[in-house]
Amino acid sequence: MPDAVARFRPTMGVTYPLLGLTHSGGKHELGIKSYSLKSNFMTATDSWSYELLEPYPDDMRDLVLQPVEITVNGHSQVLGRVDSSEFGGKGSAAKLSGRDFIADLTECHVDPAIKLKENMSLDSAILLACGPVGVTGVVFQNDVGLRNIRTGASLGNPPDPAFRAAKMEEYKSTPGESIFQFCNRIASRHGATIQPGLDRRSVVLAAPDYDQEPAYTLKRSLDAALSSSNNILSATCSRDLSSFPTHVMVTGKKGKGGKTKAPIFAEFDVDTSALQSSKIGNLVVVGRRPLEEPHSLPEGHLYRLRYLRDEDARSEAQIERVSRRLMADRLKDTLRYSAEVLGHWDSNTGATYAVDTMIRVEDEMCGISEDLWIEGREFRYQQGSGATTSLTCWRRDSFVL
């Protein structure tokens, strides 16, 4: 294990651009005791912290609110700001922590004067709302190689998203709503999420990309003869169908104020093939069940209707998107896979682990042999025990906006 720890020892760099200050070291010569870099595709902000043992420079004492960039092996991971600092603890360590710059959007309320006009483009609407905190550009996921920068590998770009052509209806903010909440409400209506961009002045409109090839492989074989190639330190999987719906129905009305609004609706059944198990899928009843036939449900079989009325939907497309998201929110619970591995990159491909990438999992203990989507990733380092990465993975297509 000591040789493996040394082989996977990362180079962490911390730069404070406004101060011209950089802390870095190929083998942590600065005495970094520990660090954590946490990123989740579905969480608004990435978070980070690091602890530096004495003797630490005097310029460490006054860094709260300073912009910061954190790199791992030269690959940019976080563009953020120092939220808090702590000094004088055990061993006189200095601890700094913060979030990426999307935190500025989560902590600043949207200006109540904002009003989105009909037919305004999605990116123009987001830019208008984010302007007060210094955002000057909104780009789409296939316009930037963000995934390649995070991984340090050539993984290509996602396809051109349908929401590039999205047009706004009239929208107003809610009192006390943050800029991020306001923008996320708009973006999710059109199938997008808001992600940090390549610099502090840009944000990216993105959706999960399930069509890419796996950039990494996890393996855990129970065969002693094959176990030498195992690269999983620990892993667990959970399968939860306690709230899983078999049929989803969403209704609403479309039309502008002062005019008669026409009813709209969407409904569909679960795709049982997504459960990856015929034994489970065979217990699911497909189709909406009529009220008049209570005795026709086969014994032991499952039928669950999930119904929602969406007062904010403006079109059939938005109603359908809401219904599919309702299903996806439960589908992702049918398999959650968490693994811890040594180091921050795949030893075969050299790609640094990142969210919104695919990973091939061959885990005989958990009974998994499929490609999974990485929703969460946390880099951790502890002096003495080395660097590890925790991964949270969902099934392909289990999250739909």
Q: 94 with 136, same domain?
A: no
pLDDT tens for each residue of 359-373: 999 999 999 999 999
Question: Within a domain: residue 338?
Answer: no
Beta bridge partners of 306: 248
Average pLDDT value for the chain: 88
In a domain, residue 142? The reply is yes
Domain check: are 95 and 110 in the same one?
A: no
Indicate if 131 and 179 belong to the same structural domain: yes
Q: Which of 93-102, 174-183, 254-263 has the lowest mean pLDDT?
A: 254-263
Of 75, 100, 125, which residue is a domain's last? Answer: 100
User: Does residue 272 lie within any of the structural domains?
Assistant: yes
Please provide the DSSP assignment of 236-281 as one string.
EEE---TT--SEEEEEEEE--TTSPPEEEEEEEE--GGGGT-HHHH
In a domain, 321, yes or no: yes
Domain count, the chain: 3
Q: How far apart are CA 204 and CA 147, in angstroms?
A: 12
Q: Is residue 287 domain-resident?
A: yes
374, pLDDT greater than 90: yes
| Cβ atoms of 83 and 182 closer than 8 Å | no
CATH number at residue 150: 3.55.50.10
> Within a 10 A sphere around the Cβ of 190, how many other Cβ atoms?
22
- pLDDT for 341 equals 97
- CB burial string 297-333: b at 16+ within 10 A, e below: eeeeeeebebeeebeebbeebbbbbbbbbbbbebbbb
Q: Does residue 19 sit in the same domain as residue 55?
A: yes
Helices (H) and strands (E) in the chain, counts: 7, 21
Q: Final residue of a domain: which of 100, 119, 137?
A: 100
Helix axes 316-331, 179-189, angle to 10 degrees: 100
Residue 236 lies in a domain: no
Kindly state whether residues 83 and 116 are assigned to the same domain: no
Sign of CA dihedral 78, 359, 147, 126: negative
For residues 326 and 361, the model is more confident at 361
Q: Kindly report the length of the chain.
A: 401
Q: Are residues 87 and 112 in the same domain?
A: no
Asked whether the CA dihedral 50, 51, 56, 58 is positive or negative, the reply is positive
**What pLDDT, in 10s, does the model give residues 217-241?**
999 999 999 988 999 999 999 999 9
The string of pLDDT tens digits covering residues 264-289 is 989 989 888 777 777 888 899 988 99
Q: What is the mean pLDDT of residues 95-124?
A: 94
Q: Averaged over 337-365, what is the pLDDT?
A: 96
Closest CA to 245 of 313, 319, 323: 323
Domain match, 139 and 185 both: yes
Structure tokens at 285: 């009843």
- Beta strand 336-342 with 234-238: parallel, antiparallel or unpaired? antiparallel
Judge if 109 and 96 occupy the same domain. no
Which of 100, 120, 147 is a domain's end point? 100
Residue 226 lies in a domain: no
What average pLDDT does the segment 237-258 reach? 86
CATH number at residue 55: 2.30.300.10
Residue 394 lies inside a defined structural domain of this protein: no
Give the structural domain span for 10. Answer: 2-100
Report whether pLDDT(54) > 80: no
Q: What is the 3-state secondary structure (H, E, C) of 3-60?
A: HHHHHCCCCEEEEECCCCEEEEECCCCCCEEEEEEEEECCCCCCEEEEEECCCCCHHH
pLDDT band at 249 (very low <50, low <70, confident <90, very high): very high
Residues 252 and 319 in one domain: yes
Q: Which residue has 């795709």 as its token pair?
A: 271
pLDDT band of 28, cuts 50, 70, 90? very low
Q: Give yes or no: residues 194 and 115 share one domain.
A: yes
Within this chain, do residues 120 and 202 fall inside the same structural domain, yes or no? yes
235 or 252: whose pLDDT is higher? 235
- In this structure, are 54 and 126 located in the same domain? no
CA angle 315, 204, 329 (to 5 degrees): 55
Confidence of residue 18 (pLDDT cuts 50, 70, 90): very high
Yes or no: say if 332 and 395 are a contact pair by the CB < 8 Å rule: yes
Tokens read off for 54: 């004495």
Instruction: Return the number of other C-beta atoms located less than 10 Å from residue 339's C-beta.
Output: 25
